[in-house]
Amino acid sequence: MALLDGKVAVITGAGRGIGREEALLMAKHGCKIVVNDLGGHFDGTGQSRSPAEDVVKEIRAAGGEAVANFESVTDFKAAKRIIECAVDNFGKLSIVVNNAGILRDRMVFNMNEEDWDAVVGVHLKGSFNVARHACAYWREQHKGGNVLNGRLINTSSDSGILGNAGQSNYGAAKAAVAAMAVIIDREMQRYGVTANAIAPVARTRLTVDATPQTAAGMPTAKAGEWDAFTPAHVAPLVAWLSSDDAKEVHGEVFRVGMGTVWLMRGWHSVGKVAKKGSMWDPAELGGKLKEELGKGATAKENMGQVMAGNV
Ligand SMILES: NC(=O)c1ccc[n+]([C@@H]2O[C@H](COP(=O)([O-])OP(=O)(O)OC[C@H]3O[C@@H](n4cnc5c(N)ncnc54)[C@H](O)[C@@H]3O)[C@@H](O)[C@H]2O)c1
């Protein structure tokens, strides 16, 4: 029996890059796939049916089952239709991979309202929209005695969990989708659902076209050689997290790429200064905090170090 036999997945933004690889691998492992993709440019403008249609053709040619869906995840009502597309075509929904993404990099002092709204709209609101309708469906099914072992996988980024200059819109949204997975996991455990997040590292148009400075650290492999940065390296983790075997994995964040999976944990206290009985004087507090920061100062990892294999 294949790992995902009998499962049905919605993968957003599955017409290209990482989502396409997830769709192909999960279909190979028996999962029926709704290949959702708006088919726009990397900045979110435009649309085209061919990316989603092409992936559906590839899956079918390999003997799998898939349907295309061209709705935008940014639209709350359209997100409901994406979920309904799975149920209408394949009878149920088991897995949601929130993967759709765009980039509009600017330093914060140059960022206009539209660039902020567009990026936050796809990554943060889009992930919420799809998760919200999927979770309502899983809860309703569970109440009716149909336990579907729902799986939600949000796509975060090193930009969100570590920070990256020029991406206050994207990084803020990506930190939020990681937090969203942790919170939804707590809300949905009682319905047999797990929610986790991934932070991929891969050569796709979001790195090659939108951020060539990042892609410079992601060389293309020669034919027959190990290709460290192919987006295909992301898919095995997502396929496994989607399976019943991963039922104990709750609210985790994994960096994934280059054949490596890192378990990421953050925002934990590493020191404190405390005073009881009287209020801190601000300067006194600042002096104590500077001492504490000095003690706890450790080198922070960044995406360049990860790509160079130094983390
Ligand atoms: N490539 C990396 O190294 C990297 C690093 C960190 C995070 N990510 C994240 O991985 C995910 C996949 O990105 P990718 O690198 O494969 O890029 P990609 O551009 O190849 O794929 C993203 C897909 O999302 C689709 N999409 C965009 N807006 C949409 C919308 N509103 N509704 C439906 N589909 C929409 C696009 O048409 C595109 O096909 C994104 O969320 C991205 O932020 C990628």
Name residue 20's amino acid.
R
Q: Are residues 207 and 277 in the same domain?
A: no
CA 288 to chain CA centroid, Å, is 38
**pLDDT of res. 168:** 98
Q: Are residues 249 and 118 in the same domain?
A: yes
Q: Which residues line ligand 1 (CB under 6 A)?
A: 12-13, 15-19, 36-40, 42, 44, 51, 72-74, 99-102, 122, 126, 155, 157, 199-202, 204-207, 231
Q: Are residues 258 and 305 in the same domain?
A: no
Q: Are residues 172 and 285 in the same domain?
A: no
Q: Are residues 255 and 281 in the same domain?
A: no
**pLDDT of res. 210:** 75
**CATH number assigned to the domain comprising residue 172:** 3.40.50.720
> 199: which 2 tokens?
């932070």
In a domain, 3, yes or no: no
Q: Are residues 253 and 274 in the same domain?
A: no
In a domain, 292, yes or no: yes
Q: In total, how many domains does the chain have? A: 2
Residue 64 confidence (pLDDT) above 80: yes
Residue 138 confidence (pLDDT) above 90: yes
Secondary structure class of 58 (helix, strand, coil): helix
In this structure, what is the dihedral angle of CA atoms 272, 277, 279, 284, given to the nearest 10 degrees? -60
Q: Are residues 274 and 259 in the same domain?
A: no
Q: For residues 39 and 60, is the Cβ–Cβ distance under 8 A?
A: no
Distance 143 CA to ligand 1 centre (A): 34
**pLDDT of res. 302:** 78
| Active site positions, annotated | 157, 170, 174
- Chain position carrying tokens 């997945």: 9
Average pLDDT of the residues of the chain: 95
At 219, the pLDDT band (50, 70, 90 cuts) reads confident
In a domain, 105, yes or no: yes
Nearest to 14 by CA among 246, 242, 231: 231
Q: Are residues 77 and 176 in the same domain?
A: yes
In a domain, 172, yes or no: yes
E strands, the chain, are: 8-12, 32-36, 66-69, 95-98, 151-155, 194-200, 253-257, 260-264
Q: Are residues 185 and 244 in the same domain?
A: yes
Domain that holds residue 281: 269-311
Q: Are residues 233 and 310 in the same domain?
A: no
In a domain, 75, yes or no: yes
At 299, the pLDDT band (50, 70, 90 cuts) reads low
**pLDDT of res. 297:** 56
Residue 66 confidence (pLDDT) above 90: yes
Residue 298 confidence (pLDDT) above 70: no
In a domain, 59, yes or no: yes
pTM of the predicted protein model: 0.95
Give the count of beta carbons closer than 10 Å to the beta carbon of residue 4. 25
Between the alpha carbon of residue 132 and those of residues 83, 115, 135, the distances in Å are 10, 24, 5
Between the alpha carbon of residue 77 and those of residues 73, 121, 154, the distances in Å are 9, 14, 20
When pLDDT is averaged across residues 209-219 and rounded to a whole number, the result is 77
At 265, the pLDDT band (50, 70, 90 cuts) reads very high
As a whole number of angstroms, the distance between CA 150 and CA 196 comes to 12
Give the count of beta carbons closer than 10 Å to the beta carbon of residue 6. 13
Q: Are residues 179 and 273 in the same domain?
A: no
